[in-house]
Amino acid sequence: MSQNLDALASLPYRPASPQNYSPNIGMVGCGGISKYHLEAYRSAGFKVVALCDLRLEAAESRRDEYFPTALVTRDYEELMRDDSIAVVDITTHAQDRVPIIEAALQAGKHVLSQKPFVLDLDEGERLVRLAEERGLYLAVNQNGRWAPHFSYARLVAQGGFLGKVFGVHLGCHWDHTWVEGTEFENMKHLVLYDYAIHWFDILRCFIDQPVKQVFASTARVPGQRLMPDLLGQVAVEFDQAQATMAFDAALPRGAFEETFLSGTAGALHSYGSGNQDQSLYVTTKDGTWQPKLEGKWFPDGFHGTMGELLCAVEQGRPCVINAADNLHSLALCFAAIESAETGKPIRPGSIRRLPA
Ligand SMILES: NC(=O)c1ccc[n+]([C@@H]2O[C@H](COP(=O)([O-])OP(=O)(O)OC[C@H]3O[C@@H](n4cnc5c(N)ncnc54)[C@H](O)[C@@H]3O)[C@@H](O)[C@H]2O)c1
């Protein structure tokens, strides 16, 4: 095997765990997504000691299934008062999250916040400053970065295997109409905001250049009943690169998801019937390499994010999913939504709040 293929065969794309740091973790929010956090933490051996939800029965049910000795409570302040808890995992919706993040930081805890981090970039910056002042880590749960295909593609792009990446083309064609009857159904920009934030974030891992501007549009599917537009498309402009994204979120059958990276030295192509089932190929001057990817986005991505936070704390190094960096992904997302609202190209950073 050539040196290049040897290196591709041993990329460390799987989630990591700390060597000797096993802090007590408290979780606030025991709704739908908490299941995947807890499943991943249990199999990674992370220690969840408290579960909080306004709906006590939701916390009790998660306790019974995953961490039978954990304390349950309706009041997140109870977790903040517990000095044995060093890390708080906050999985409520964004509109409920800021006071909880603030309380955790004030109480001296490291924080992992679910995505999308905040509704207002200035508020996000304030939380970042608060964490810095208190010497704490504030990280955002962009677990897509540890979906096996995205994790591998990230290391390929950042490792220079493709030369300089100048094209990123992402396509998601699936059925998201399960949101009917949930809180997600009331999000006007469900697709470009709540869903696509993982794709805006991963795009920034693939292309290391500032975005010049973004253009986006949304539309409805024939016969659509749900309020949010289920079609969304995005074009992102860079000085020496381009990116496109297409989201068809109401496909009843024949789901397909694709990632294509073009670089000055080669290409990466990943595709499959969804993000849990991907075949990935890397083509360089040495030929084409297909890794046997292990794991799945759900739940491994959730081991990836908490593992990265704990490893960063243990090693005293910056966390790659730090909130300051995440604000750039959100700025891109907000700009795309503003573009879809106005029909104009928008510069990221110029739109500070999630457009109505
Ligand atoms: N891949 C992913 O990372 C992924 C997937 C799905 C959802 N999410 C995100 O996770 C977040 C939550 O989604 P969900 O599907 O779990 O929502 P959900 O509505 O099922 O759960 C939210 C929970 O938070 C609780 N809650 C609200 N305010 C609270 C408070 N002050 N104290 C304690 N509990 C409180 C609610 O009672 C509810 O149980 C959203 O931001 C969503 O975008 C991420």
91 Cβ inside 6 Å of ligand 1: yes
Burial label for 81, CB within 10 Å (0-12, 13-18, 19+), is exposed
The 10s digit of each residue's pLDDT in 28-77 is 999 999 999 999 999 999 999 999 999 999 999 999 999 999 999 999 99
Q: Is the pLDDT of residue 169 over 80?
A: yes
Q: pLDDT class for 347, splitting at 50, 70, 90?
A: very high
Using the mean position of ligand 1's atoms as its centre, give its distance from the Cα of residue 182 in Å: 11
Closest ligand 1 atom to residue 52 Cα is 33
Query: β-strand 138-140 against 110-113: which pairing, if any?
Result: parallel
201 Cβ inside 6 Å of ligand 1: no
* pLDDT value, residue 119: 97
Closest ligand 1 atom to residue 141 Cα is 3
Using the mean position of ligand 1's atoms as its centre, give its distance from the Cα of residue 108 in Å: 23
Using the mean position of ligand 1's atoms as its centre, give its distance from the Cα of residue 93 in Å: 5
Using the mean position of ligand 1's atoms as its centre, give its distance from the Cα of residue 96 in Å: 9
Predicted structure pTM score: 0.97
CA-nearest residue, atom 21 of ligand 1:
31
Closest ligand 1 atom to residue 94 Cα is 41
Q: pLDDT class for 5, splitting at 50, 70, 90?
A: confident
Burial label for 60, CB within 10 Å (0-12, 13-18, 19+), is middle
Kindly report whether the peptide bond that precedes residue 116 is cis, defined as omega within 30 degrees of 0: yes
Q: pLDDT class for 1, splitting at 50, 70, 90?
A: low
Using the mean position of ligand 1's atoms as its centre, give its distance from the Cα of residue 94 in Å: 8
Give CA–CA dist 138/88, Å, rounded.
10
Domains, the chain, ranges and CATH?
24-141 (3.40.50.720), 148-295+323-342 (3.30.360.10)
**Percent above pLDDT 90 for the chain:** 98
Give CA–CA dist 353/228, Å, rounded.
19
Using the mean position of ligand 1's atoms as its centre, give its distance from the Cα of residue 115 in Å: 10
Mutate to test the pocket of ligand 1, among 41, 53, 77 (most ligand atoms within 8 A of CB): 53
51 Cβ inside 6 Å of ligand 1: no
Positive/negative CA dihedral, 331, 334, 336, 338: negative
